[in-house]
Amino acid sequence: AQSVAQPEDQVNVAEGNPLTVKCTYSVSGNPYLFWYVQYPNRGLQFLLKYITGDNLVKGSYGFEAEFNKSQTSFHLKKPSALVSDSALYFCAVREKAAGNKLTFGGGTRVLVKP
């Protein structure tokens, strides 16, 4: 089965500093990877995806992610964090053999302090 892991339960960063949220994956074949963000009492919002092609993927709200096949990682990054980026972030992988279901990591809470 495919899986993703988010090794950090929480990331604290000062506003204006770079933000990185880590994700590693374990898949057979080519991975379809996603990042989602969830604000309190809201649904998940799609940020970006890696399917194939360039290892640096750009997404919504200034976020980007770097796919690294040798390290089996797909870290989410933002050059300059905003207080409004404080939220819960989920990495996910598509399971093609299981009806295209998404398998989520455990989530990382990001707290951006002014």
Interface residues with another protein (CB under 8 A) are 32, 34, 36, 41-46, 49, 51-52, 88, 90, 94, 98-102, 104-107, 109
Nearer to another protein, 17 or 26 (CB): 26
Which residues fall within 8 angstroms of residue 41, CB to CB, at 6 or more apart? none
47 backbone φψ class: left, alpha, beta (φ>0; ψ -120 to 50): alpha
Report the nearest approach of another protein to the CB of residue 42 (Å): 6
Nearer to another protein, 15 or 102 (CB): 102
Report the nearest approach of another protein to the CB of residue 26 (Å): 16
Structure tokens at 90: 């989920």
Nearer to another protein, 2 or 114 (CB): 2
Alpha-carbon distances, residue 54 vs 4, 34, 66, 72, 85 (angstroms): 20, 15, 9, 15, 25
Report the nearest approach of another protein to the CB of residue 93 (Å): 10
